[in-house]
Amino acid sequence: MFFSPVVGLLLASLVPTVVSQQDMATAQQTLIGTWSSGSQHVVTGPGFANPVNMSFTYPSTTGISYSFTSDMFYEIARYRFNSNGSEPTCITGVIGWSHGKYQFNPNGSMTLFPFTDGFQQIQDPCAAVSNFIEDYRVTMELYQQWAIFVDPQAGPKLHLFQFDGSPLAPQFKVSNTPNMLPTQVLRNVSNTDSSDSSTTSSSVQRRSASGAVGNNWSARAIPAGVSGLVAVAFASLLL
Ligand SMILES: *[C@@H]1O[C@H](CO)[C@@H](O)[C@H](O)[C@H]1NC(C)=O
Ligand SMILES: *[C@@H]1O[C@H](CO)[C@@H](O)[C@H](O)[C@H]1NC(C)=O
Ligand SMILES: *[C@@H]1O[C@H](CO)[C@@H](O)[C@H](O)[C@H]1NC(C)=O
Ligand SMILES: *[C@@H]1O[C@H](CO)[C@@H](O)[C@H](O)[C@H]1NC(C)=O
Ligand SMILES: *[C@@H]1O[C@H](CO)[C@@H](O)[C@H](O)[C@H]1NC(C)=O
């Protein structure tokens, strides 16, 4: 049940290596802590986002970071650039923070339930509004599969697969103690009903309603530091 075709493909690619996958019970223990992709400049906690004034401290490189507590709270920090094929000069930057509660599902998936206080900043040099901050209006995030592989050199490596099966960049563990902001609602969000649009936020709401940016955090490039075999597996998944 846990070995979906997606994870099975990874395992098949990994057979000749010494990397091993943890069983579910062990993986649920290993999950507790803070994880970060790539060069590990994106890390959850107070160094990334300040919900009180909805500000970010921009990391020096893009990436994602997830933290999990044993009492089922999580936090996510994400920073990426989107390029637009038809407008190559229009590179959009998206940085986002959210936290909430998570649960393990019987079929091996994981569901996150964000609090209302998440937010993201979008910088789009070609848009009418080139820089704006908006609420993260997502009530649930489903990860169809997740798995932890143990690399003898780099330690545990977390693989998350989004609701559509697309993989996120693998993350290495940066701390066994979760590095997180307080696990409670940290700012009051007025007007959480998106149908009730105010004049000041209408452009933001129109943009997020289009779904053009915001909620697809698929790995677009293979970050440095991933073993060749995993990179091959991910490359074939992305085709
Ligand atoms: C937000 O608050 C922090 C901490 O008080 C401060 O360092 C930062 O400059 C503020 N940012 C903005 C955009 O107001
Ligand atoms: C790419 O740019 C075109 C032209 O500006 C725009 O219509 C389209 O929505 C953009 N695509 C994305 C994904 O932002
Ligand atoms: C696994 O369970 C979750 C939660 O019940 C559900 O949303 C998801 O669709 C299930 N996935 C599959 C592949 O059945
Ligand atoms: C939200 O607003 C209520 C009522 O004004 C206030 O008591 C509470 O402290 C606020 N919460 C935060 C996180 O600012
Ligand atoms: C997310 O982005 C990836 C890579 O560009 C793409 O393959 C996938 O279809 C996207 N998923 C959704 C739901 O847009």
Q: What is the DSSP string of 148-212?
A: EEEETTTEEEEEEEETTSPBPPPEEEEESS---S-SS--S--S---TTS--TTTHHHHHHHHHTS
Distance CA 95, CA 75 (A): 14
Give residue 50's identity as a one-letter amino acid code: N
Chain-centroid distance of CA 163 in Å reads: 12
Average pLDDT over residues 221-227: 34
Give the per-residue pLDDT at 233: 36
Give the DSSP letter of residue 103.
E
Distance CA 126, CA 11 (A): 42
Q: Which residue has the higher pLDDT, 17 or 208?
A: 17
The reported pTM is 0.76
* Alpha carbon of 51 to ligand 1 centroid (Å): 10
Distance CA 3, CA 159 (A): 13
Distance CA 43, CA 10 (A): 26
Ligand 2 atom nearest residue 85's Cα: 1
Q: Which of 113, 114, 116 is closest to 189 using CA atoms?
A: 116
Q: Is the pLDDT of residue 14 over 70?
A: no
Instruction: Return the exposure string of 155-170: e unless at least 16 CB atoms fall within 10 Å of the residue's CB, then b.
Output: ebbbbbbbeeebbbbb
Chain segment 136-157, per-residue pLDDT in tens: 999 999 999 999 999 888 899 9
Residue 131 CB neighbours (<10 A): 11
Which tokens belong to 117? 């206080």
Question: 105: Cβ below 6 Å to ligand 2?
Answer: no
Is 14 in contact with 230 (CB distance < 8 Å)?
Answer: yes
Average pLDDT over residues 79-107: 92
* Alpha carbon of 89 to ligand 2 centroid (Å): 11
Distance in Å from the first CA to the final CA of the chain: 25
Give the per-residue pLDDT at 225: 34
Q: How does strand 155-162 pair with strand 171-175? A: antiparallel
* Alpha carbon of 195 to ligand 4 centroid (Å): 23
Question: 130: Cβ below 6 Å to ligand 1?
Answer: no
Is 72 in contact with 102 (CB distance < 8 Å)?
Answer: yes
Q: Is the pLDDT of residue 235 over 80?
A: no
* Alpha carbon of 84 to ligand 2 centroid (Å): 6
- Grade residue 125 by pLDDT with cuts at 50, 70 and 90: confident
* Alpha carbon of 145 to ligand 3 centroid (Å): 10
**Half-sphere exposure of residue 143: CA atoms within 13 angstroms, side-chain side:** 22
The CA-based diameter of the chain, rounded to the nearest angstrom, is: 59
What stretches of the chain show up as alpha helix (H) in DSSP?
5-14, 24-30, 202-210, 228-238
Q: Looking at the CA of 57, which ligand is closest?
A: 1
Name 38's Cβ contacts closer than 8 Å, sequence gap at least 6. Answer: 61, 62, 63, 169, 223, 224, 225
User: Any idea how long the chain is?
Assistant: 239
List ligand 3's pocket residues with C-beta within 6 A.
105, 107, 109, 111, 142, 144
Give the per-residue pLDDT at 212: 36
Q: Looking at the CA of 56, which ligand is closest?
A: 1
Ligand 2 atom nearest residue 212's Cα: 13
